[in-house]
A = this chain, B = another copy of it.
Amino acid sequence: LVGARSSQGFGYGIPLKLKEQGWADRTYLVNPRGGQMHGMPVYRSVDLVPDPVDLAVVIVPAPAVPEVLVQIGRRGIGHVIVQSAGFAETGPEGKALQAEVNKAAKQWGLRVIGPNCVGVVNTGNRLATAEVMPEAMTPGRVAVIAQSGVFGHNLIDRFNMQHVFVSKVVTLGNRMDVSESEMLEYFRGDPTTGLIVMYLEGAADGRLLVDTLKRVTREKPVLVLKSGRTSVGRAATASHTGSMSGHDALYESLFAQTGTIRAASLQELVDLAQVFATQPLPRGNRVGILTGSGSMGALAADAAVDAGLRVPPLSAMTEAKVRNGAPVWMNAKNPLDVGPSGMFPTAFKALMEDPGIDMVLAIVSTPYAVLRTVDPRQLMAQWYFGDLEAIRKLAGHKPLLLSVVSHQRLAEIIEGQVQDRIPVFTCPEVPAQALAALWRYGRYKEGRDSGRRICV
């Protein structure tokens, strides 16, 4: 860690985090002042660090970076993360400085991530060159490629809240050397990664990105959030990561043609990540909607149909199952509004078993006024879903999403019980749209559909 600092400020906590994650014996701090820091020895220069060294993390001020890269090259370290900011994103002077850094890197054959980033996280070997919270080090199957360091941080904070866990994270910053395409290709081959989530301000190389995405999306879903849709947004990204981005229509077409799933907002990106990380691709587009509220059923049906799904009539078998024991006022249709009949678990199982239904959205709408009369320790997902695990096993090939549209406290209770296996939403529309995205991506992957936007 070149530029280790003893005072609060950017990068101060990195050695502490590395220690916390068990890297103390393999972390070497470099600062011309020498001495000790966080109980670790500080080397006065890169030359003095003992072998072997696989990676140099640079956090010195921007003007000092070119010289530090020469030292790193001379020392025989091949891989570098430059976290320092103050390069191409700041204007002509910064661009010139970045060119110098690049020259040094090329001269010594270095591979460089950054500058203007916070580096990488690998939950498998617990390496993090950024100060992420320990909870975020839980290994998962989602890889993250973010141009912006803060974005990467914010995304991981949100992932954590929604039970999405990562395999690896890379923040690319100004992409002087390593680009999003190279990372996509890497994650394609990475066995710990099943899904790739990317935040992009502009393609480093548009043609290369098209070719890469085409290859990657045949194997793993790629979700992308692209900013710079408008000229004001593009100007903002130029000041942020020095990205040059073309008109948005080009990106729209690029993502549609390569089967890349473009989210319209940060929240949609997180929601889709949770769904794609946990649910199988459906075999068809027939959704069964179960609800205790006719209004929520109608809203979910609207969203599903708008997004290209079908909400078919119930099969005779399913209708018979839900009619049996139901009060007369209950309509046995799809969306299936069971009201306060107590038929929710029966209807849920029937829909999951129905071969004419490819995916299920179950919406809980019990008012909080009713719930508050119940001991929360006794309030169980089981009330609504019966033996959820057993039913899931029966229909493991069907995507299943839950929604709890009443009070947040019920959503939290149910979420706590289904954990990271089944996403729990709090509105009727978003899960319907997410199911449609699963289906559209599946179609693309089978080669049955292309050139269409996957998210509606």
In the complex, are the beta carbons of B86 and A295 less than 8 A apart? no
Contact residues, A308-355 vs B (CB, 8 A):
311, 328-329, 331, 333, 335, 337, 339-340
Report if A293-B151 is in contact (Cβ < 8 Å); known contacts: A157-B406, A407-B157: yes
Please tell me if A260 contacts chain B, counting CB pairs below 8 Å.
no
Which residues does chain B contribute within 8 Å of A227, judged by CB atoms?
A: 295, 298-299, 302
Please tell me if A390 contacts chain B, counting CB pairs below 8 Å.
no
Q: Which of A231, A298, A306, A337 has the most CB of B within 10 A?
A: A298
In the complex, are the beta carbons of A407 and B296 less than 8 A apart? no
Report if A299-B133 is in contact (Cβ < 8 Å); known contacts: A236-B294, A368-B157: no
Which of A21-29, A31-39, A422-430 forms contacts with chain B? A422-430
Closest residue of B by beta carbon distance from A161: B408
Please tell me if A241 contacts chain B, counting CB pairs below 8 Å.
yes
Interface residue tally on A, bucketed by range: 35 or more
Report if A265-B299 is in contact (Cβ < 8 Å); known contacts: A337-B236, A372-B133: yes
Please tell me if A46 contacts chain B, counting CB pairs below 8 Å.
no
Q: Which of A86, A297, A301, A427 has the most CB of B within 10 A?
A: A301
**Total identical chains:** 2
Partner of A337, one of B86, B240, B303: B240
Report if A331-B295 is in contact (Cβ < 8 Å); known contacts: A367-B157, A373-B13: no
In the complex, are the beta carbons of A303 and B265 less than 8 A apart? yes
Closest residue of B by beta carbon distance from A17: B369
Please tell me if A419 contacts chain B, counting CB pairs below 8 Å.
no
Contact residues, A51-77 vs B (CB, 8 A):
62
Partner of A266, one of B62, B265, B427: B427
Closest residue of B by beta carbon distance from A130: B369
Closest residue of B by beta carbon distance from A310: B232
Report if A236-B133 is in contact (Cβ < 8 Å); known contacts: A230-B306, A429-B265: no
Please tell me if A108 contacts chain B, counting CB pairs below 8 Å.
no
In the complex, are the beta carbons of B265 and A305 less than 8 A apart? no
* Residues in chain A within 8 A of chain B (CB atoms): 10, 13, 17, 62, 85-86, 89-90, 130-133, 146-148, 150-151, 153-154, 157-158, 160-161, 199, 201, 225, 227-233, 235-237, 239-241, 264-267, 292-299, 301-306, 311, 328-329, 331, 333, 335, 337, 339-340, 365, 367-370, 372-373, 405-408, 426-430
